Amino acid sequence: MILTTADGIDADPYDDIRLATDADIARVKEVTDAAYGHYVARIGVVPAPMEDDHGANIAAGRVFVTGDPVVGLLVLVPEADHLFLDSIAVHPDAKGSGLGRRLLAYVEAHARRLGLPEVRLYTNAKMWENRRMYPRFGYELVERRVEGPYDRFHYRKQLPRRSGAPEPTAL
């Protein structure tokens, strides 16, 4: 989405969200650990995003970050028929700033740019804050599934097609 400012200049509302680089690896880990660390005691296992290979995800072009230093990030995986939101993390220092809402909006905009009709994600059953939040943003519960040590609620959000928008293409 491009907005035009009062002086006629096109402005991207997400121009502060960028692909992560190798220089971001340490901070991506710090933000992820800070955002998910408090869940370890509640769910009884380390949340999967804390164990991700951040360097590999960055090298694959899956990690998007914002802030200097990084305070928020997304791990996005394009699939043939949807965009998978693998992780969203906001540093606790930025909690309540609206950054999480902006990152979720970016996910949808990114899916549309890729021509994908929906976003999918999951959250741990014991992350009840997320289970209340995602439906408020239009995500519908698809199923609950236990995968190894993780009890997860799977969600999806179908994105409305814009008139004149291209048909989704396989990746």
For the chain, the first-to-last Cα distance in angstroms comes to: 22
pLDDT surpassing 80 at residue 11 = no
Give the torsion sign (CA, 69, 66, 101, 33).
negative
CB atoms within 10 A of CB 157: 22
**Average pLDDT, stretch 75-90?**
98
Q: 89-123, pLDDT tens digit by residue? A: 999 999 999 999 999 999 999 999 999 999 999 99
How far is the C-alpha of 135 from the C-alpha of 48, rounded, in Å?
22
How far is the C-alpha of 100 from the C-alpha of 83, rounded, in Å?
17
HSE-CB of 127 using CA atoms within 13 angstroms: 22
CA 167, 80, 52, 71: dihedral to nearest 10 degrees?
0
- Confidence tier at 170 by pLDDT (50, 70, 90): very low
Identify which of 69, 62, 90, 61 has the alpha carbon closest to the alpha carbon of residue 24: 69
Q: 125-153, pLDDT tens digit by residue? A: 999 999 999 999 999 999 999 999 999 99
pLDDT at 161: 75
pLDDT at 142: 98
pLDDT surpassing 50 at residue 9 = no
Give the torsion sign (CA, 21, 67, 27, 56).
negative
Average pLDDT of the chain to the nearest whole number: 90
HSE-CB of 130 using CA atoms within 13 angstroms: 21
To the question of pTM greater than 0.85 for the whole model, the response is yes
pLDDT at 15: 84
